């Protein structure tokens, strides 16, 4: 019984780690594709950052365009 509980707990931890790693890798891929397509690296990072908002990104882009 103890072996079964350890195996189940181990599998749950592995799934959580793989899920978090997969999401992080996907976010990094999207940022790299945006930079590859000509976006500013800082703006691309803001757009796809977990805590970032689209409104903030639009504001940064507008401010960047005003300075050019």
Main-chain phi, psi angles of 37, to 5 degrees: -85, 5
* Contacts of residue 34, Cβ cutoff 8 Å, sequence gap at least 6: 44, 47, 48
Query: Domain map of the chain by residue range?
Result: 2-67
| Average pLDDT per 10 consecutive residues for the chain, totaling 68 residues | 91 89 79 78 75 64 60
Per residue in 9-28, pLDDT tens?
999 999 998 887 777 787 88
Give Rg (Cα) of the chain. Answer: 19
Q: Where are the alpha helices (DSSP H) in the chain?
A: 2-36, 41-48, 54-67
Place of tokens 């005003």: 66
Q: What is the pTM of this model?
A: 0.56
């Amino acid at each position: 019984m103890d072996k079964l509980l350890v195996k189940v707990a181990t599998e749950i931890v592995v799934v959580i780690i793989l899920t978090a790693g997969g999401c992080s890798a996907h976010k990094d891929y999207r940022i790299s594709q945006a930079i590859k397509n000509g976006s500013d690296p800082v703006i691309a990072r803001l757009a796809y950052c977990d805590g970032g908002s689209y409104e903030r990104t639009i504001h940064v882009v507008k401010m960047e365009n005003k300075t050019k």
